[in-house]
Structure 1
Amino acid sequence: MTRIIAGAAGSLTLGVPGAGTRPTSERVRESLFGALDAADAMTDAAVLDLYAGSGALGLEAVSRGAASADLVERAPKAAQVADRNAKAVARSVPGARLTVHRAAVDAFLQHGATMWDLVFIDPPYDLSDAELGGTLALLLPRLTDDALVILERSSRSPHPMLPAGMVVERSKSYGDTTLWWLGRE
């Protein structure tokens, strides 16, 4: 079971797509969002959730005060689940702008001009380091000056290949999962 942990939609149970997704554990989400709350990283933020799956990360941010969330998911069934979850959260957070985009991440990033303050990237573990580096390069020009990017990878994955202009601010491992906090240089 996945649920919104805190905020206006706290305790709301979220649907989870079947095979093909790997939801972030509640323990990791609690730690992550505690740190984001302490850094005041969500208040009125424009949030982007790439490889969204259920949309739990972006929707948690909206529940805790983000102004908007764009959830990007290519898999049709997962995008349908994310859309249902977004509609449920929207009922608890009036005025929040929640949009599910059924698209491949790189194709989505190549179009539009939206800028984001907070980005969650939880790609499939089989995404190559070179592909991830390409995605980060596409994302970089779409980040606000003080944007924060949270990258979730297997603890067995190497240090992420970052494009010029992006740096690791910190990282933390939780068993099989490592969170990388990235920002503009």
Structure 2
Amino acid sequence: MRIIAGAFKGSKLVAPGGSNTRPTSDRVKESLFSMLDGYGVLQAANVLDLFAGSGGLGFEAMSRGAAEVDFVDSAIASARAVASNAQKLGIDHSTRIHSSDVVSFLSSQRVLGLHASVQRRPEGHAGADDGGRTQLGNGLDEVQDGQVLEARSDRDDDEGRIFDLVFMDPPYPLGEDAVTQILGRLAGLLDMESIVVVERASRAPEPTMPAALEVFRSKTFGETALYFVQLKAESEEAADVANGVGATAADESV
């Protein structure tokens, strides 16, 4: 696994030891990030990488200009791999790693408290010199389930923080009801400019959207299907805020 473009182009990523993770192929990743570049969602973005595995999607986003990434995976091996990759790239100060079940993470106070009010980060924020972070140190072997490996503390801007971009690449066997449940919990962490990318097997049905969300674009690559999801516009004014993203639904296959 490697980063294919941006500041860390060519950097190899450590895979979780003994895992059966399914990294996104370079072909799919290249097309995905080309589309995200076109939507203008990457620069200075707050990113959430669910079912992170080695963190390939989150690190690719960082390489292309994202400010910060929260990585979530229930496997301890994945948390350790992400921590190792962040340190190797020198961006552990801009990452948070959560060894937690995704539903539990999204239900937790450390997430629910983030969307009390909507505040976007200042344009150009890079997150490189934020203070109050607990560094990883040598404690990787002591990681317990649900533990935040790299956490920012004493931050004034965490309240009201939203995610500009969410990657959701669950194991293909994960049921459609579970996917819908996770998407429903995500809705409160988004605004009208946010994009959620869901990766599923192309043979599986299109994910069922909760009431607050809609698929505005989909694209198929052989065995892989990508679904681009956004909040539904409740009014013409809200649609304008979305900067035209998803104004016309598009289904593509290659």
Alignment deviations for residues 6-61 of structure 1 (CA, whole Å, 9 cap, x no partner): 11111110011233211111110011111111221100110000000000001110
1:179 corresponds to which residue? 226
TM-score for the superposition, normalised by structure 2: 0.69
Q: Does 1:169 align with 2:168?
A: no
TM-score for the superposition, normalised by structure 1: 0.94
The within-5 A match list for 1:79-98 is 79-89=79-89, 91=90, 97-98=94-95
Alignment deviations for residues 115-170 of structure 1 (CA, whole Å, 9 cap, x no partner): 10000000000100001111001110011221000000000110101100100011
Q: Structure 1 regions of 5+ residues with no counterpart?
A: none
Counterpart CA distance in 2 for 1:87 and 1:57 is: 16
Which among 184, 187, 211 is matched to residue 137 of structure 1?
A: 184
Corresponding residue pairs, total = 181
SS at match of 2:32: helix
Determine which structure has more spread, i.e. the larger CA radius of gyration: 2
Q: Which moved more, 1:106-115 or 1:132-141?
A: 106-115
Alignment deviations for residues 87-140 of structure 1 (CA, whole Å, 9 cap, x no partner): 222x2x59x611111010011111221410000000000100001111001110
2:238 corresponds to which residue? none
Tell me which protein shows more strand as a share of its residues.
Answer: 1
Q: Does 1:57 align with 2:57?
A: yes
Q: Does 1:108 align with 2:116?
A: no
Counterpart CA distance in 1 for 2:48 and 2:85 is: 15
Pairwise CA RMSD: 1.3
Contact 2:169 2:198 in 1 (8 A): yes
Counterpart CA distance in 1 for 2:19 and 2:58 is: 20
2:2 corresponds to which residue? 3
Q: Does 1:117 align with 2:164?
A: yes
Q: Does 1:40 align with 2:40?
A: yes
